[in-house]
Amino acid sequence: MERKLKAGLFSFTGDEGCVITFLEILNYKLKDWNGRVEWQAARVLRKKSSLEGLDVAFVEGAISNEKELEKLMEIRKNAKKVVAIGTCAINGSPSNHRNSFDEDKKREIKHILKRFNHMPSVEPIGKYVKVDAEVPGCPIIEQKFVEVMEQYIKEFGVE
């Protein structure tokens, strides 16, 4: 049985533009990656979220609540590599704009944050876990995603 790269795609607080770009990438890379990459977790591909034996986790979005933080910690614990994809995951922006609201605006939205169990601030994933690589852009730069994916295909001995 041939070795496959076990990958996951996870999305947190953001607009999911990186996921849409990921689907666009599959339009021209699916044939190359088919048989070499096994998507164990990718909601957009209707794959159940299995973290067992995960080689690479691609994570988009910033962390805005405890539930997301718990899931991120679980992903990091189970994945050999974590890749922050997109500006939200890398530096929290634009999802983190509320972090710089003035005190009046913060008071105004406090009940909304409480209702949806949001933390006081929105943070990039690197604040909480080790990030092994980044794919910049909003949405991601397609070629950079392809480069990172193919780097891990080689690194994990998938031919």
At 103-115, the pLDDT tens digits run 999 999 999 999 9
At 4-26, the pLDDT tens digits run 999 999 999 999 999 999 999 99
- Which domain, by its residues, includes 43? 5-152
Q: How many structural domains comprise the chain?
A: 1
Backbone angles phi, psi at 124, to 5 degrees: -70, 160
Answer whether residue 100 is part of any domain. Answer: yes
Q: Which of 44-53, 62-71, 141-150 has the lowest mean pLDDT?
A: 44-53
Output the pTM of the full model. Answer: 0.94
Q: Per the structure block, which two tokens stand in for 122?
A: 């929105």
Answer whether residue 158 is part of any domain. Answer: no
Answer whether residue 157 is part of any domain. Answer: no
Q: Which of 45, 147, 131 minimizes the C-alpha distance to 88?
A: 131
Which domain CATH number covers 95? 3.40.50.700
